[in-house]
Every structure is written in structure tokens, then in C-alpha cells.
Amino acid sequence: MSAVTSPQIVPAVPPVRVALLGCGVVGSQVARLLSEQADDLAARVGAPVELVGVAVRRLGLKRDVDLPAELFTTDAEALVSRDDVDVVVEVVGGIEPARSLILSALRHGASVVSANKALLAEDGATLFAAAEAAGRDLYYEAAVAGAIPILRPLRESLAGDQVTRVIGIVNGTTNFILDRMDTSGTGFTEALEEAQQLGYAEADPTADVEGFDAAAKAAILASLAFHTRVTAADVHREGIAEVSAADVASAREMGCVVKLLAICALEHGPDGPAVSARVHPAMIPRSHPLASVREAYNAVFVESRAAGQLMFYGPGAGGAPTASAVLGDLVTVARNRLAEVSGAGESAYAGLPVLPMGATQTRYHVQVDVDDKPGVLASVAHAFAERNVSIQTVRQEGRGDDAQLVVVSHTASDADLAATVESLRSMPNVRDVSSVMRVEGVDG
């Protein structure tokens, strides 16, 4: 049934024919929306949108959508090679066979809509080149932050502006875990278990917890924001498994919250403009818009020269939300097919160098357990000064055997900050460096 009840104008033109690769959590919702919203989609595209085949690994499984059995096939290659398929929607994920299937689809004249962040972040260049050679579209809004429109704003809405920084909470699982640690004071392990019980975290949570998922999304965001090819291998990655309850408590003391951030920035490199791309836990002030992103939600904060600060917020995963992004692309791609044009392809004209993490400008929060004796503060300050790192604030917590110095630096190169921490670890009056975390979202 149509979602819009007013009279529809469904044009009498041949349908745009769609093949779907994958019928899991996202694929089944794509198929459901294609059916339930058929009239609206036809009116918006200018032609009916017809699902002509669904490739799955196994036939006969119970699915979250009712589809005629004859639509299903296990021969994905044959499906994408059909010359009557106009658009292939790929929601299987992973590198292979997704890459071969997408390349085959493009070679056979289909446009492609994909949600495959890992593939786009690893080998987007090959896919974009194939799309260009074929004169077809490759759209992938669903690959980053689920339902949130962020790739189209970067590629199109901000095409006349100069984006300087993108900071994203782009992994819902880790945001849920860190939010639980912040609100309940639990440690990482307990929060992860809760996330698994509630279905937010996978049984093997490595891709989320170790930051691989967010790093792939950071590569895609950086590529679009800075018109430069950035791959997942270019992204510095640290996960959240080492974040302790003490780190979270320390952030709270400072009026901050710990988030796993994907940060892509335009930087001053040694030879001119450059790009940095990194994923790591960081403290941000509770007043920062990203601090209000709770539970498994995602958000992307964009800074640009003319527009200033923008924030995009919403569900970053889940079947229907991700299918919403897929369908948005599908409508655009289908319209382009009817108009016999292709949309914007890869824009990598800037070709900026990607800085190594050591050369990236960051700020550190460092908590050191120290002997509470004259000269200790001076020697700690000296360790920062030796590396030319300026201190913004320092405060002492506790006294006697339980004294801690909490230092927040100004901005410096990550290499100098890391070296400062190393020299603190070897100082005689420092018993332990009990917390080290980068600080984001504050000037200085």
C-alpha cells in the first residue's frame, strides 16, 4: 500500500529494474519498502521501480519480508550480468564477492547502490573508475552513519564551500558502551556485555570495539570532505577496549565525556595543505553538540569556512534506517537512468597528502600518580617543556601517597605529546601514568 493517499501519477513508462544482493537485516527492509512504497517511488522516479531478483547465500530461509520464491537466486553473478537489470543494490558487505559483483554489474551496464563501507574504504578508487568507464552511478549514502544524510551534504550541498573538519560519532555500538560507562560508572567489560545482551554489539565485537568500522567510515568522510583519496589504511585507529572507568571518571571531573571519534581535518602539512584522518577515544566538553549523542545514535559534526558548524544526527544502523538511505540513493540513481545521465562521480582532484598520526595536531589529558613532594610538579612541567608542549591547565588531586597531577596540554604534534608521556613514565617521582586521552572540541 502507498504511504501517500492522494491520487498518484504513475507514469506509463517501462520500469527501472532492480537486482538486490543480500536479503538480511538491511536487504529485507529495502525489499519491503520497494513493495510498500511502490506508488510513491514510481511517482518520484518517473517510472515504476521493479525488483527483478534477489541474490542470497541460501534459499528457503525465513526472511523479514514476503517475496515470491522465484525472485530468489544463489547465483549472484548471473543476476548482476542480466542485461535487463538497471540498478544493482549491494547490501551483502565485505570485500569479496561484493567487489567482483559490483564491477561486473557496472561492466554489464547497471548503476550501483551500495552500503559497503569496508569495500569503499579499501578499494573505492577501483569501483569509481569502473563506474566512470561505464558511465554509470555508484552511490553509497548508507555506508556511513546509517539513515543520516551526510555523504550527499558533503558531496553536493557543501560543494561550494571549504570543509575544514569533520568529527563523527559513527559507530553506535561503541557509543552505547561509552554512554553506559559514563552514566552508570561501569567498566568496559560490563558495558560490552550489556550491549551484547541488548543486541547492540555482535558476539565478536572486534570490528566495532577496535575501531575498524569507524575507520572505514572516516576514510569515506575524509575522501569526500577534502576531495582526496583516503583509504582505511591511511586512518590512524585506536579502539575503546583500553578506556577505563577511571578515564571516564576523570573526563567527568573535567566537565567532559569520552566518545569514540572519527576526526578528519584539513591541516598545515610540512609542504602545504594536508589531511589527517583518525579514530580514537577522546574527551569532549559536555557543552559540545556531540556530547549529547547518547546510546547507539550517531552524529557527524562538520565545520566549513562559509557555513560554519553543522551537525547531522540520527540512527546509524538498523534495517529500516539503513534501507531509508539505500532507497534515497536508489531514487536518485533511477532518475539518472531515465534521464540518461550519471551523477557526480569521485572527486579526488585535490590529491592532498595524508599526514601520519605523529604529525597531526592534538591535545592530551594526562593523569599521573606522583610523590607529593617539592619539585615534582616542576619536573612534570619540565617533561612537557622539553618537548615544546605548552600546558593549558594543571591541578592536583589528593595528597601524600594518593596524589595525582592532572595536566591538559595545549595543541601540539601527537608525536611530541606521546614522547612527553613516555618520559613521564620513566621519571622517578611518577608512580604511574594512570590516564592518557586526547581532548577534542575545545580551542587551544
In the complex, the residues that contact ligand HSE under the rule CB under 6 A are 171-173, 208, 213, 316-317
Residue with smaller CB distance to ligand HSE, 51 or 148: 148
Residue with smaller CB distance to ligand HSE, 213 or 346: 213
Residue 49's beta-bridge partner residues? 16
What is the number of alpha carbons within 13 Å of residue 117 lying toward its C-beta?
26
DSSP per-residue string spanning 206-270: HHHHTTHHHHHHHHHHHHHHHTS---GGGSEE--STT--HHHHHHHHHTTEEEEEEEEEEEEEET
**Cα–Cα distance measured from residue 24 to residue 30, given in angstroms and rounded to the nearest whole number:** 10
Residue 304's beta-bridge partner residues? 163, 308
Residue with smaller CB distance to ligand HSE, 215 or 257: 215
Please pick, among 117, 217, 259, 373, the residue that the annotation labels catalytic.
217
Instruction: Give the shortest CB-362-to-ligand HSE separation in angstroms.
Output: 24
Residue with smaller CB distance to ligand HSE, 211 or 316: 316
Residue with smaller CB distance to ligand HSE, 148 or 380: 148
Residue with smaller CB distance to ligand HSE, 173 or 362: 173
C-alpha dihedral (435, 438, 442, 444), degrees to nearest 10: 100
C-alpha cell at 193: 556485555
Instruction: Give the shortest CB-282-to-ligand HSE separation in angstroms.
Output: 17
Return the biggest CA–CA distance within the chain. Answer: 86
Instruction: Give the shortest CB-67-to-ligand HSE separation in angstroms.
Output: 24
Q: Please, where are the H alpha helices in 395-443?
A: 414-425
Residue with smaller CB distance to ligand HSE, 292 or 396: 292
Question: What is the distance of C-alpha 420 from the center of its chain?
Answer: 30
CA-nearest of 391, 318, 307 to 172 is 318
217 is catalytic: yes
Residue with smaller CB distance to ligand HSE, 219 or 417: 219
**Cα–Cα distance measured from residue 176 to residue 161, given in angstroms and rounded to the nearest whole number:** 33
**Cα–Cα distance measured from residue 279 to residue 202, given in angstroms and rounded to the nearest whole number:** 20
Residue 276's beta-bridge partner residues? 265
Distances in whole angstroms, Cα of residue 181 to Cα of each of 3, 206, 296: 40, 18, 13
Instruction: Give the shortest CB-198-to-ligand HSE separation in angstroms.
Output: 12
List strands edge to edge, sheet with 72-73: 72-73, 49-55, 16-21, 87-90, 111-114, 138-139
DSSP per-residue string spanning 307-329: TEEEEEEEE-SSHHHHHHHHHHH
The three-class DSSP label of residue 337 is: helix
Question: What is the distance of C-alpha 416 from the center of its chain?
Answer: 28
Instruction: Give the shortest CB-205-to-ligand HSE separation in angstroms.
Output: 9
Residue with smaller CB distance to ligand HSE, 207 or 377: 207
Instruction: Give the shortest CB-192-to-ligand HSE separation in angstroms.
Output: 12
Question: Other CB atoms closer than 10 Å to residue 410's CB: what's the count?
Answer: 15
Instruction: Give the shortest CB-316-to-ligand HSE separation in angstroms.
Output: 5
Residue type, 128: F
Instruction: Give the shortest CB-176-to-ligand HSE separation in angstroms.
Output: 8
Q: Are 161 and 306 in contact (CB under 8 A)?
A: yes
**Cα–Cα distance measured from residue 353 to residue 289, given in angstroms and rounded to the nearest whole number:** 30
Instruction: Give the shortest CB-418-to-ligand HSE separation in angstroms.
Output: 28
Give catalytic residue positions. Answer: 217
